[in-house]
Structure 1
């Protein structure tokens, strides 16, 4: 039985990944300090949970793992503390990558579309490097380190996955950093007009978490190291998100448009170019946005997160 470590395994994407790996028969260890993860995300998990910081944990206890899925990071993009963001996201990443190389462990990690800043859409991997915030910068430097290691250690297995806007089950503990799908659905269920920035035509590549988990699984068998986009390959406007939610929830709300306080560094249009993901991983999204929203709302109702 293969043994895997999921760092940040009590978080949104990490928990979905840990549970899917468990279902597929892997022995799974979760590492999470629960600073933003939540135990309820791991209901149904039967593996080991190590509660330590990625900066302090004794890595020797993971020497016998076959694969590390490094999902742990500060994902709150509004945090301005540059030192904290770089220590957790970049130094934490470096520590685990070094350990993986030394012990011949496959290393698959979460990068981000935040590395693109205001690059034109559709974003290709080579457009990265002009991030708008310290979060995007911390992830960009991880990619730079990864690239150097790929050249230095050609036999290593290093895969970086640049996630676009991920939504789906187990994100509800992310608070203000949860997806717009969750935020807007919640407002509508509470009887409020959904609030979006003027005039709702900003576009985002919204990718369902089940597709993101599949990309991670495909990354285990990649023939060579790479950094690739993981998205839906399609941008949808915020107006359209509300349209789809109205349909799925049986409502008829109109958006309430508000000023955008982040205008100067706001990404107006994100859309993943997936040609490299297809080439290197064989990744092609399976979930169309409309079907994914339906599936997600069903899950939220079943688990009593919404009525």
Structure 2
């Protein structure tokens, strides 16, 4: 692990879920690092789904002592504010991550083209680029999911992330030692995800349902499996990626597929018994099984997830209870 003290670190999307957790990680463990958050923050605008056009929220940054730049990665003027900074590392988490957004032009502009602009900036500065890709690149292809295999996204969000990865692959073919690392996040859950709203993890949503109604609803019959990965393991993944001596694209998950029924059993241990109602699944494209192949990430960079589903939920329970109490 390198010493990030005295490094200048930029986090795009830093007021969002993963970005804000990264900011507090560096603030706690590397207090002499210069940490700069670049985020659009939310306004009154929403997508057709009703979800906000930005997931950045100031409350995710309460207690943050670093610098904050308000900016949109699609704006050339706003990107110039980043260009003025002599940064060492950029963690790129700004994106349209709402998979229900159907505006293909906007998603591709925001997720792919703006990323290419930031990537060129990094290359000119000889800075490290760690960026958020997604398990959405795999679509509904069979698990376990391996980088380079079965990359058939089902929506424009997954396609935009795959285009990011394809662009990086071309660059790394010419110079594999460039420090550009893409991280394909699977189902991330944990603290500071509340302001994702309807796009927050099922772990948070089911926990709040159980507390409020003593009942949760699952698609029949709760045996769909996902690779759920706790936020603290995701932060570890970002940190080890920033230490890479060469570029690459890696899966970030627990490496284990668990069912929604497993989540229910974990929650019952901490919240008491509650009812489960199984309802028909109206979505033909709903994934039945995702699982990250993480051996390459472990071998190349030493990524080792420390939290099982049981451990992650146990760690998360106080936050879930706090959110419920504050909502009442």
Question: Within 5 Å, which residues of 2 pair with 1:262-273?
Answer: 262-263=283-284, 265-273=285-293
- TM superposition shift of 1:60: 5.1
- The alignment status of 1:46 with 2:55, answered yes or no, reads no
Aligned to 1:170: 192
What SS does the corresponding residue of 1:149 show, helix, strand or coil? helix
- The alignment status of 1:75 with 2:97, answered yes or no, reads yes
Aligned to 2:265: 243
Counterpart-to-counterpart distance in 1, 2:139 and 2:246:
27
Q: Deviations for 1:184-231, whole angstroms, at most 9, x for unmatched residues?
A: 001111124211111111000000000000010001112211100000
Kept after mapping to 2: 8 A contact 1:9/1:71: yes
- TM superposition shift of 1:129: 2.1
Tell me the TM-score normalised to structure 1 length. Answer: 0.96
Aligned to 2:51: none
Question: Within 5 Å, which residues of 2 pair with 1:55-134?
Answer: 55-56=74-75, 57-59=78-80, 61-62=82-83, 63-134=85-156
What SS does the corresponding residue of 1:124 show, helix, strand or coil? coil
Counterpart of 1:191 (choices 209, 213, 219) is 213
Aligned to 1:13: 18
Q: Deviations for 1:16-71, whole angstroms, at most 9, x for unmatched residues?
A: 01110121222100000012211111111011111110111133544400000000
Aligned to 1:221: 243
What SS does the corresponding residue of 1:126 show, helix, strand or coil? coil
Aligned to 2:46: none
- TM superposition shift of 1:102: 1.3
Count of aligned residue pairs for this structure pair: 303
Kept after mapping to 1: 8 A contact 2:189/2:229: yes
What SS does the corresponding residue of 1:255 show, helix, strand or coil? strand
Question: Within 5 Å, which residues of 2 pair with 1:138-153?
Answer: 138-153=160-175
Kept after mapping to 1: 8 A contact 2:179/2:247: yes
Kept after mapping to 1: 8 A contact 2:88/2:127: yes
- Consecutive unaligned residues of structure 1, counting only runs of 5 or more, are none
- The alignment status of 1:204 with 2:226, answered yes or no, reads yes
- The alignment status of 1:254 with 2:261, answered yes or no, reads no
- Consecutive unaligned residues of structure 2, counting only runs of 5 or more, are 1-5, 42-53
Counterpart-to-counterpart distance in 2, 1:243 and 1:277:
30
Counterpart-to-counterpart distance in 2, 1:43 and 1:28:
15
Q: Deviations for 1:110-132, whole angstroms, at most 9, x for unmatched residues?
A: 00000001121111112242001
Kept after mapping to 2: 8 A contact 1:9/1:31: yes
Aligned to 2:294: 274
Counterpart-to-counterpart distance in 2, 1:145 and 1:61:
22
Counterpart-to-counterpart distance in 1, 2:107 and 2:282:
22
Kept after mapping to 2: 8 A contact 1:59/1:99: no
- The alignment status of 1:27 with 2:34, answered yes or no, reads yes
Kept after mapping to 1: 8 A contact 2:11/2:35: yes
- The alignment status of 1:299 with 2:319, answered yes or no, reads yes
Aligned to 1:2: 7
Q: Deviations for 1:129-179, whole angstroms, at most 9, x for unmatched residues?
A: 200111100100000001111123334210000000000000001011000
Kept after mapping to 2: 8 A contact 1:159/1:226: yes
